[in-house]
Amino acid sequence: MLHDKVVIVSGVGPGLGRAVAVGSARAGADVVLAARSRTILEEVAAEVEQAGRKAVVVPADITDPAAADHLVQSAVDTFGRVDVLVNNAFAVPPLVPLVEMDPAAVHAEMDTDVFGALRLTQLAAGHLAATGGSIVMVSSVAARLSRPGFGAYKMTKGALISLAQTLAAELGPRGVRVNVVVPGSIWAAPLRQYYDHLANQRGVTTEEIYEETAANLDLRRLPEAAEVANAVLFLASDLARAITGQCLDVNGGEYHH
């Protein structure tokens, strides 16, 4: 689906970011990997190269304008083009009620999730226009629901959806598509570790925690990282060339939108 494309992925970690990067390589793309941790970047780069594609590792804090500029420029300097930008970076917000939260904490969350994505989009827009490229934002089920303690996360992931829709209208005339993937719970290393923690607290097994959650999904199982990544790759590819300004929810039927 992405033969000879160049894909920038921000927020590469052990879960969805890794799956998007490796999936892009298996779909035929060269990949520019960005995150704060060089260790995880090098591990994912090795997987990209095992899939037969090139990987460029760029340790970067996208809240830093200079680092964001270096990321995009590294892609252009290495490959001469940018075809896809996947804005997957996010910061973990404090899980406290909004009425008790320091507004500065919300600002820090927005700086990564929303302004970081906007900054990378601004830097990449001209290159994407030159290739008829696409942007995929990664939001969250938190944007759809109102759960105690998740107010800051809902604010930022909801704002990311609004950002994508506005960018779709602005960049569409230049041939650039902008869409959003909205995952629910993703069965990958970070969630496994959290379920292990919950299981220890409650004196039950991790499998029991999983089954409790999965019972609320139509498919009775949690989507895996590679399955969510497939939705990202679809929206990034020419298979979705008539789709822009849309949200694709990938949640195993946890809710219907």
* For the chain, the helix, strand and coil percentages under 3-state DSSP, each to the nearest 5: 55, 15, 35
Task: Give the integer Cα–Cα distance in Å for 134 and 142.
Answer: 24
Asked whether the beta carbons of 23 and 188 are under 8 A apart, the reply is no
Which sequence positions are flagged as catalytic? Answer: 140, 153, 157
239: exposed, middle or buried (C-beta count within 10 Å: 0-12, 13-18, 19+)? exposed
- With a CB cutoff of 8 Å and minimum separation 6, the contacts of 216 are 254
3-state secondary structure at position 7 = strand
Task: Give the integer Cα–Cα distance in Å for 177 and 170.
Answer: 10
* Stated length of the chain: 257
State the CB neighbour count (10 A cutoff) for residue 227. 17
Nearest partner of 144 among 136, 154, 135, 153, judged by Cα? 154
Distances (CA, A) of 204 to 105, 109, 196, 200, 216: 33, 33, 9, 7, 19
- Cα angle for residues 17, 207, 190 (degrees, 5° grid): 20
Task: Give the integer Cα–Cα distance in Å for 118 and 70.
Answer: 15
